């Protein structure tokens, strides 16, 4: 893109004020209705990935803290939560939803500061959807008998939940809301790089007056998560994160009667046929992989374009990429914020090198990058072979591989040739073709002529190494229930 065109596209900065959130110096654990210091006395630091500045200290919970939290959750389950009428439980969840909504601006800014995601994403997607999950499951609380007629649904007890860093508050909402609605109590751990909104949520839930012990937060690293997984008095584990850790958890739970849901990685195919509305498809491709820095488990990271339109689509894609704004996550104009952590930034760079070494052609948008912070330009790889590492492994960054195809059978075979099966997208003007393809794709969610659309009423989850169990919708209640 010429300098002149770039100037037309440039906007004056429009930063959201960081003053709407008062970030404390230190955040404690939340156990048995109280904010308490970790038993080791240890705290770890959380950073803003946009400028690498320290933002606060977070309590580092250990096995002892997890044990206290599980004991509190068990007591609350036995004495209060399982005895409460389901309508009363629903009222608490509605109250949490409303209080989150009242503080949504603060939550959005906190999420962007802590995670590096753009304010547009946190303000318009993460936080409203998180609130909506609480509203949605609040509605189910007193209708479980109707949801599962004749099956006598019963709660399990204590749910242990482990959250990733890519959608910190949203993934917490996906797990907490159905657990509480079904009558379970919760011990939850945020990801170590993005604990802040969970700490604010603990304050909200405290203010909402939830009985002590029903909801507990034990922040920390992987060992804290492992302590939750291995605690003998936890009835169910819900995990979202890497396939590697998912496998460790599944092994740890083998031979126990704990229930498990795993929502792991993905390498989702986004398929564009020659009869697709191309400009819309290009927008969908960009939305599918570049927004939220590609930190999306269901990101459309493998693009399949029908051969006869490939040149045109790539040209339009490059043009669109040149206008994407990479920079300050708090600026309302920003399309691509900061990569979540130094570690993740380095992981992505490692894959760029692998891609070039494998012989694929790399293209990076010529956009300006801020000098400091974990920023990178949206990246394409062309001439990618099906067997290449960059087409097989999850990169979890704004990196798209492009392959071409000629026939429907060929693209279905290529799209399904992956260890993962979380999501997919299909772009075509022809309804029958869309139904034909979507029904043959081995992926939990398939979008047609759109991408990355979420709704609390729609179940989400994977096939194969993308995990098992569903979150969201009526299906999302099942992992938290047992039936006669």
**Interface contacts to ligand NAI, rule CB under 6 A:** 162-166, 189, 191-192, 221-222, 225-226, 229, 240-242, 245, 248-249, 263-265, 297, 344, 347, 394, 396
- Give buried/exposed letters for 265-279 (b at 16+ CB in 10 A, else e): bbbbbbbbbbebebe
Cβ atoms of 228 and 236 within 8 Å: the answer is no
| H/E stretch holding 434 | helix 431-440
Give yes or no for residue 16 binding Mg ion (CB under 5 A).
no
Tell me the β-bridge partners of 155: 481
Q: How far is the CB of 194 from ligand NAI (least distance, A)?
A: 9
Q: List the catalytic residues.
A: 263, 297
Considering the complex, what minimum distance in angstroms separates the CB of residue 273 from ligand NAI?
28
Nearer Cβ to Mg ion (327/329): 329
Nearer to ligand NAI among residue 248 and residue 448 (C-beta): 248
CB-nearer residue toward ligand NAI: 99 or 229: 229
Residue-by-residue DSSP string for 310-376: HHHHHHHHHHHHHTPPBS-TTBTT-SB---S-HHHHHHHHHHHHHHHHTTPEEEE------SSSS--
Asked if 172 and 188 touch (Cβ cutoff 8 Å), the reply is yes
Taking the complex as a whole, the smallest distance from the CB of residue 131 to ligand NAI amounts, in Å, to 20
94 binds, among Mg ion, ligand NAI, none (CB under 5 to 8 A by kind): none
229 binds, among Mg ion, ligand NAI, none (CB under 5 to 8 A by kind): ligand NAI
Give me the least distance between CB of 172 and ligand NAI, in Å please. 11
**In 3-state terms, what secondary structure has residue 424?**
strand
Q: Minimal distance in Å, beta carbon 191 to ligand NAI?
A: 4
> Which of Mg ion, ligand NAI, none has residue 163 at its interface (CB below 5 to 8 Å by kind)?
ligand NAI
The answer to whether 193 contacts Mg ion (rule: CB under 5 A) is yes
* Contact flag: residue 334 with Mg ion (CB under 5 A): no
331 binds, options ligand NAI, Mg ion, none, Cβ within 5 to 8 A by partner type = none
CA distance readout (Å), 409 to 102, 302, 317, 443: 50, 17, 25, 16
Tokens of 411: 């693209």
Helix (H, G, I), strand (E, B) or coil at 31: strand
Binding mask 143-162 for Mg ion (x = CB under 5 A): --------------------
46 binds, among Mg ion, ligand NAI, none (CB under 5 to 8 A by kind): Mg ion
Q: Which of residues 56-115 bind Mg ion (CB under 5 A)?
A: 114
Please choose which of Mg ion, ligand NAI, none residue 428 contacts, taking the beta carbon within 5 to 8 angstroms, the exact cut-off set by kind.
Answer: none
Question: 81 vs 463, which CB is nearer to ligand NAI?
Answer: 463
Annotate 34-101 with DSSP letters as a single string.
EEE--TT--EEEEEETTTTEEEEEEE---HHHHHHHHHHHHHHIIIIITTS-HHHHHHHHHHHHHHHH
Choose the one of ligand NAI, Mg ion, none that binds residue 166, judging by a C-beta under 5 to 8 angstroms depending on kind: ligand NAI
> Binding segment for Mg ion among 19-27, 44-52, 73-81, 305-313 (CB under 5 A)?
44-52
Instruction: Identify which range of 133-141, 181-189, 193-201, 350-358 contacts Mg ion by CB under 5 A.
Output: 193-201
End-to-end CA distance of the chain: 64
Kind of pairing between the strands at 43-48 and 423-427? unpaired
Question: Which residues are bridge partners to 336 per DSSP?
Answer: 326
Please state the closest distance from residue 335 (CB atom) to ligand NAI, in A: 21
Is residue 22 a contact partner of residue 28, using CB atoms and an 8 Å limit?
no
Q: Which is nearer to Mg ion, 46 or 428 (CB)?
A: 46
**Strand residues in 377-448 grouped as ranges (E):** 379-382, 399-405, 420-421, 423-427, 445-448
Q: Which residue's entry shows tokens 């012989």?
A: 359
Q: Which of 46, 401, 428, 466 binds Mg ion (CB under 5 A)?
A: 46
Nearest approach in angstroms of CB 165 to Mg ion is 8
Q: Could you tell me which residues come within 8 angstroms of residue 411 by beta carbon, excluding any fewer than 6 positions away?
A: 269, 271, 304, 306, 405, 437
Residue closer to ligand NAI (CB basis): 276 or 395: 395
Task: Give the residue nearest to ligand NAI (CB).
Answer: 225
Within 108-137, which residues bind Mg ion (CB under 5 A)? 114
Write down the H helix ranges in 77-230. 86-102, 104-115, 119-121, 127-140, 144-147, 168-181, 196-207, 222-230
Give which of ligand NAI, Mg ion, none residue 132 binds (C-beta under 5 to 8 Å, depending on kind): none
Candidate ranges 25-33, 39-47, 166-174, 368-376; the one touching Mg ion (CB under 5 A): 39-47
State which residue, 242 or 364, has the beta carbon closest to ligand NAI. Answer: 242
Residues 6 or more apart in contact with residue 60 via CB below 8 angstroms: 38, 40, 42, 43, 44, 219, 220, 221, 224
Q: Closest Cα to residue 112, out of 26, 24, 197? A: 197
114 binds, among Mg ion, ligand NAI, none (CB under 5 to 8 A by kind): Mg ion
Our CB check for ligand NAI shows the closer of 77 and 396 to be 396
Burial of 56 (0-12, 13-18, 19+ CB in 10 A): buried
| Nearest CB to ligand NAI, comparing residues 71 and 189 | 189
**Residues of this chain that bind Mg ion (CB under 5 A):** 46, 114, 193
């Amino acid at each position: 893109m010429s300098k002149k065109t770039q100037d037309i596209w440039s906007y004056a900065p429009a930063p959201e004020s960081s003053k709407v959130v008062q970030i404390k110096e230190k955040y404690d654990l939340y156990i048995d209705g109280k904010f308490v210091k970790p038993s080791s006395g240890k705290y770890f630091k959380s950073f803003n990935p946009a400028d690498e500045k320290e933002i606060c200290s977070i309590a580092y919970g250990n096995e002892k803290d997890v044990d206290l939290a599980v004991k509190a959750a068990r007591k609350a389950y036995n004495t209060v939560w399982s005895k409460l009428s389901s309508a009363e439980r629903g009222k608490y969840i509605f109250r949490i939803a409303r209080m989150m909504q009242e503080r949504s601006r603060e939550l959005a800014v906190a999420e962007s500061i802590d995670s590096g995601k753009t304010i547009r994403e946190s303000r318009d997607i993460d936080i409203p959807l998180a609130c909506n999950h609480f509203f949605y499951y609040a509605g189910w609380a007193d209708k479980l008998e109707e949801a599962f007629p004749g099956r006598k649904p019963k709660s399990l007890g204590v749910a242990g939940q482990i959250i990733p860093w890519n959608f910190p508050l949203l993934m917490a909402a996906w797990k907490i809301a159905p657990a509480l609605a079904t009558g379970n109590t919760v011990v939850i751990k945020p990801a170590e790089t993005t604990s802040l909104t969970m700490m604010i949520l603990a304050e909200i839930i405290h203010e909402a007056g939830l009985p002590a012990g029903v909801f507990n937060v034990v922040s920390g690293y992987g060992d804290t998560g492992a302590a939750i997984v291995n605690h003998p008095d936890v009835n169910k584990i819900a995990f979202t994160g890497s396939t590697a850790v998912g496998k460790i958890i599944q092994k740890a739970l083998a031979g126990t009667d704990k229930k498990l849901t795993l929502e792991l990685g993905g390498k989702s195919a986004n398929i564009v046929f020659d009869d697709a509305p191309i400009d819309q498809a290009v927008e969908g491709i960009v939305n599918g992989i570049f927004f939220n820095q590609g930190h999306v488990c269901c990101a459309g990271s493998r693009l399949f374009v029908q051969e006869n339109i490939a040149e045109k689509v790539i040209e339009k894609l490059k043009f669109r990429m040149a206008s994407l704004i990479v920079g300050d996550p708090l600026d309302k104009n920003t399309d691509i914020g900061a990569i979540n952590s130094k570690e993740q930034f380095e992981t992505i760079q490692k894959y760029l090198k692998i891609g070039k070494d494998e012989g694929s052609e790399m293209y990076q948008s010529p956009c300006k990058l801020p000098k400091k912070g974990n920023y990178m330009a949206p990246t394409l790889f062309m001439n990618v072979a099906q067997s290449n590492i960059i087409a097989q492994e999850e990169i979890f960054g704004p990196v798209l591989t492009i392959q071409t195809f000629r026939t429907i059978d060929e693209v279905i075979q290529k799209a399904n040739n992956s260890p993962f099966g979380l999501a997919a997208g299909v772009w075509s003007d022809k309804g029958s073709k869309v139904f034909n393809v979507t029904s043959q794709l081995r992926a939990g969610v398939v979008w047609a002529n759109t991408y990355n659309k979420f709704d609390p009423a729609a179940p989400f989850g994977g096939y194969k190494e993308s995990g098992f169990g569903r979150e969201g919708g009526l299906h999302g209640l099942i992992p938290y229930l047992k039936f006669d």
